[in-house]
Chains A and B, each alone.
Chain A
Amino acid sequence: MRIGVITFPGSLDDVDAARAVRLAGGEPVALWHADDDLRDVDAVVLPGGFSYGDYLRAGAIAARAPLMHSVVDRARQGLPVLGICNGFQVLCEAGLLPGALTRNSHLHFRNRDQALLVERADTAWTSSYVTGQRIVVPVKNGEGRYVAAPADLDRLEGEGRVVVRYAGGNPNGSSRDIAGVTSADGRVVGLMPHPEHAVEDLTGPSVDGLGFFTSVLVAAVAA
């Protein structure tokens, strides 16, 4: 199973994401933002970092990178895509996910282990969990506050598009404690916390994050 990991200028967590893919049993495939070839991957991960220095808005310039045209086209046909932190910001800017991420309400960078509640265990990236499961993974962001117009938030909640919600405290003022959302078809998922940093006991607060990367191996086979 070939899982692409895109590197943008300023990506930080592409190596960790590739490592998580490997630990889960997948084959990580390095993808470069300026290419337009997805190299026959079965799924794509957009990693964390500060693509293009977060200039203009976090993720805004990366969302218009050449490879993103291919990602958007393929995602609309069902290719599983996961955006973590900056990758989530890129997916929102690219229009693949609703809402936007903006400056934390307290204006501070927040870096800590974070409890999350899994509300959707049937997406391409969360089928290894059970609904209502509590997981702990690191969160680290300065512009991680999930926002959308109140009517859009109501619609998202009504459609069950919230995948993970912050538990035990909201780290950034995100609307309704939303930590991650999914596309209508459950194939594209974005979240601000970092499951790829919670895949080994040696370096993470848990191994709870591995489930994102094992889930997609099942989803890609089913596709």
Chain B
Amino acid sequence: MPQVVVDVVLKPEISDPQGQAVLGALGRLGHPGVRSVRQGKHFVLEVDGDPDEAELREIAETLLANPVIEDVELHLRND
């Protein structure tokens, strides 16, 4: 069944305290080389038939992400 992956991350200008908390933990764990962490969401959708990219983009941009604060990326893959 075709899968569609949607990745959602906060826009660069919106601060991400969760990512910053992860970054702080990495520093304490001895990974000072990691400069930045941005945390996001990863959705995997299984759809019937051929994925309709326009419909999926609408789903991603109107529900899965809030375009006011988040950027969204759509990845179609046929496994």
Interface residues of A (CB under 8 A from B): 56-57, 60, 64, 92-93, 98-100, 102-107, 147-150, 173
Residues from chain B with Cβ under 8 Å of A100 in the complex: 66, 68-69
Known: A99-B68, A147-B69, A148-B68. A64 touches B18 (CB 8 A): no
Is the Cβ of A149 less than 8 Å from the Cβ of B11?
A: yes
Residues from chain A with Cβ under 8 Å of B21 in the complex: 107
**Range for the number of chain B residues in contact with chain A:** 10 to 19
Shortest distance between the CB of B23 and any CB in chain A (Å): 13
Say what secondary structure dominates the interface of chain A.
loop
Shortest distance between the CB of A135 and any CB in chain B (Å): 28
Interface residues of B (CB under 8 A from A): 10-11, 13-15, 17-18, 21, 63-64, 66, 68-69
Q: Once the chains are docked, how many angstroms separate the CA of A55 from the CA of B64? A: 11
Shortest distance between the CB of B74 and any CB in chain A (Å): 17
Known: A60-B63, A64-B63, A149-B13. A103 touches B18 (CB 8 A): yes
Shortest distance between the CB of A103 and any CB in chain B (Å): 6
Residues from chain B with Cβ under 8 Å of A105 in the complex: 15, 17
Q: Once the chains are docked, how many angstroms separate the CA of A107 from the CA of B20? A: 10
Residues from chain B with Cβ under 8 Å of A92 in the complex: 68
Is the Cβ of B13 less than 8 Å from the Cβ of A150?
A: yes
Which of A64, A93, A102, A107 lies in contact with B14, CB distance below 8 A?
A102
Q: Nearest 7 A-B pairs (CB), nearest first?
A: A100-B69, A100-B68, A105-B17, A107-B17, A147-B14, A100-B66, A103-B17
Residues from chain B with Cβ under 8 Å of A93 in the complex: 66
Residues from chain B with Cβ under 8 Å of A107 in the complex: 17-18, 21
Is the Cβ of B17 less than 8 Å from the Cβ of A60?
A: no
Q: Which of A93, A105, A147, A150 counts the most B-chain CB atoms under 10 A from its CB?
A: A147
Q: Once the chains are docked, how many angstroms separate the CA of A64 from the CA of B66? A: 13
Known pairs A99-B68, A103-B17; list 13 more (Cβ under 8 Å). A56-B63, A60-B66, A93-B66, A102-B14, A102-B69, A105-B15, A106-B17, A107-B21, A147-B14, A147-B15, A147-B69, A149-B68, A173-B17
